[in-house]
Amino acid sequence: MMSNSGGNYSYTYQSGPPGLCSITQDRGLNSNVQISDNPSPFLARRGEKLVQILKSAGIQLDPHKALQLAAETSPEHWPTHDIPDILGTLLGLSMASRPDQLKDLRLALENGLGAIQGPLTSPSHSPQTIMLGIYQAVIGYGCLEVTKGTLHVRASTPFAKP
């Protein structure tokens, strides 16, 4: 569903109780995507356009595989080299209308992987606030929240402990 109110756009997609969640808020944009279990219907609706946006942002992992890992596999079992792509794909669900910001954020995730991995993949870690380049991030088990100026994005998995 998309609504327009005085130049501000709001996108909402929900397929049931949230399992995967992606939220982007910025001037004129409020995008909230919640996918309960199977990401295939959502990806089928968004089709090749979303895949192209994700690829142009530097995300190499297939979106179906990234979302399947995020939904079904606890973060400590994610392949380390795939973490930036899994998080980038999750964020991309709600950031598709902001491909340049998604690309910058994906690169920041890759460059900050060493700082992200501990709190993201360890249930015993407390959430941590770190800088990912120009972004401030709060990372908890299975979830990530990032801010820069008016941009606020969040991604969470069914395993999230914010």
The structural domain count of the chain equals 1
User: Who has greater pLDDT, 145 or 5?
Assistant: 145
**pLDDT tens, residue by residue, 22-74:** 999 998 888 888 887 667 777 777 778 888 999 999 999 999 899 999 999 99
144, two tokens: 């990530």
Residue 25 phi/psi, 5-degree rounding, is: -130, 130
Question: Largest Cα–Cα distance in the chain?
Answer: 45
CB contact at 8 A, 108 and 117: no
Phi-psi region of 75 (alpha: psi -120 to 50; beta: other; left: phi over 0): alpha
Alpha-carbon gap, residue 154 to 133, rounded angstroms: 17
- At 75-97, the pLDDT tens digits run 999 999 999 999 999 999 999 99
Structure confidence at residue 142 as a pLDDT band (50, 70, 90): very high
Q: What is the pLDDT of residue 45?
A: 75
Q: What angle do CA 50, 114, 135 make, to 5 degrees?
A: 55
pLDDT value at position 39?
Answer: 74
- Using 50, 70 and 90 to split pLDDT, how confident is the model at 18? low
Look at residue 59 in the predicted model and tell me its pLDDT: 96
Token digits for 140? 């908890």
The mean predicted confidence, pLDDT, of the chain is: 86
pLDDT higher than 70, residue 6 = no
Calpha distance 8→35 (Å, rounded): 23
Residue 36 belongs to domain spanning? 2-161
* CB neighbour class for 151 (10 Å; exposed up to 12, middle 13-18, buried from 19): middle
For residue 159, give both structure tokens.
Answer: 């395993």
Average pLDDT over residues 158-162: 81
